[in-house]
Amino acid sequence: MGYSPPLGAPGSASGLQRGRAIRVLVVDDSLIVRAAFSRLVGAEADLELAAAVSTAEDALALLATERVDVILLDLEMPGMGGLGALPQMIERAREAKILVVSSLTADGAEQTVEALSLGAADTLQKPATGGFDQAYRERLLAKVRALGRRPLRRAAPAGQAAGSTPILRSPSRERAAIVAIGASTGGIHAIGQLFGALPTCLGVPILITQHLPASFIPAFAQQLREISGRPALPAADGMALLPDTILIAPGDAHLALAARPSGHVVRLDRRPAASGCMPSVDPMFASLADAFGAASLGVVLTGMGRDGSEGAQQIAQAGGTILAQNEATSAVWGMPGAIARAGLASAILHPRDIAGRIAAAVIARGA
């Protein structure tokens, strides 16, 4: 089974529920793609096509005067291209979210992961000939609506949850022996922020489940090595858990653990998860709770849907700690929002501040 992203996004209301349509900008040098995406957006009552342009330069010129909510961006175009224009596009678009529409070639994977690390919110494979079917259209529209949703509350300062204060759990009194991070939409950028603020030496293994296709995982691992200064590897069956080594769920299996006389090792699980995601955060968290109990530390970052909620409940029941990203800094506050609403989080923070809590939980008692 290959990568299966979350399609549902609890709380991701349409633009009509926000009082105005979600304005979409299409940036692609293919006339066929521009026409297909334009027709799709134009047919939805809660979406509005702001423009469809063929170059990044045209997009930057338009963003200087037009407000948009979501940008569908191709990376390989004549001129400066989507990747080269991305930093300026993020600056000019202000609160707009960027959905990279990419091929799944090796080169495309590297460029797409780099775009996600720079701040693009999500990615979707560009449809092959004959692949623009109903399932693809539904997936694209779900992503556009989730990204175009405006936050219910005004942004709060880093380290502070937006809006009314949710109920927080007390953190574990045990020193964290392992850290597991789950993320989806916007997660690569958030993970980069977290590792940029995390001490180089924690002395515990780190597991990551990021919703990505399998072909993107090697590029993601390489990027993590550069950002974190740690070994970062796609997980494989039987791999030992080593201090300060990052193991990443492959796109076609859940990352779980198995007990061996020498210690815990990786066990890849390809059974369907309740969330529908492959890989899913839930099996990773559930396995963590079984293996490490109150010494488990789970982190839920930005993402669409509810993946991670069931596993986080098991970590909480085992006495472990769950940390969640706040709404103000999330591309989509689906996964961390579900954690917050369920009262499972011990803190709801900016990713940089989550790094501080991780360090405190590993180095001393409590988070």
What single-letter DSSP state applies at residue 17?
A: G
State which H helix or E strand residue 183 sits in.
strand 178-183
The catalytically annotated residue of 28, 74, 307, 353 is 307
Distance CA 214, CA 232 (A): 15
Q: For domain 178-363, is the CATH number 3.30.70.1280?
A: no
**pLDDT for residue 12:** 39
Q: CA-CA distance, 41 to 39, in Å (whole number)? A: 6
Tokens 């399932």 locate to 135
Which tokens belong to 325? Answer: 């990203």
What pLDDT shows up at residue 267?
98
Spatial separation of the C-alpha atoms in residues 86 and 34, rounded to whole Å = 19
Q: Cite the residue boundaries of each domain of the chain with CATH code 3.40.50.2300.
A: 15-148
Using one digit for the tens of pLDDT, what is the confidence trace for 204-231? 999 999 999 898 999 999 999 999 999 9
Dump pLDDT digits (tens) for 116-173. Answer: 999 999 999 888 777 789 999 999 999 999 999 866 544 444 444 445 678 999 999 9
- Residue 39 reports pLDDT greater than 70: yes
Count of all residues that appear for the chain in the document: 367
For the chain, residues classed under CATH 3.40.50.180 are 178-363
pLDDT of amino acid 154: 44
pLDDT for res 264: 96
Q: Can you say whether the dihedral through the CA atoms of 280, 282, 288, 290 is positive or negative?
A: negative
Q: Look over the chain and give the mean of its residue pLDDT values, rounded to a whole number.
A: 90
Amino acid occupying residue 9 = A
CA distance 187 to 250: 15
> Which token pair is 269?
């699980």
For 348-364, the pLDDT digits (tens) are 999 999 999 999 999 86
Rounded distance between C-alpha atoms, residue 99 and residue 6, angstroms: 15
* Element of type H or E holding 23: strand 22-27
Tell me which H or E stretch contains 298: strand 296-300
Out of 117, 189, 211, 350, pick the active-site residue: 211
Query: What pLDDT digit, counting tens, does each position of 244-282 carry?
Result: 999 999 999 999 999 999 899 999 999 999 999 999 999
- Helix/strand/coil percentages in the chain, nearest 5: 40, 20, 40
Burial class of residue 125, CB neighbours in 10 A (0-12, 13-18, 19+): middle
Please indicate whether residue 254 is annotated as part of the active site.
no
Active site residue 282: no
Alpha carbon separation from 190 to 143, 181, 184, 202, 232 (Å, rounded): 18, 11, 10, 19, 17
pLDDT at 94: 83
Choose the catalytic residue: 12, 102, 184, 346.
184
Q: Is 184 a catalytic residue?
A: yes
pLDDT at site 161? 46
Q: How does pLDDT run across 149-160, given as a tens digit for each residue?
A: 866 544 444 444
> What DSSP designation does 278 have?
B
Where residue 7 falls among pLDDT bands split at 50, 70, 90?
A: low
pLDDT digits (tens, 9 = 90+) for 60-98: 999 999 999 999 999 999 999 999 999 999 999 988 999
pLDDT (average), residues 316-337: 97
Class of residue 8 by CB neighbours under 10 A (exposed 0-12, middle 13-18, buried 19+)? middle
Nearest to residue 120, comparing CAs of 132, 102, 106? 102
CATH topology of domain 15-148: Rossmann fold (3.40.50)
**What does the pLDDT average to over 40-45?**
96
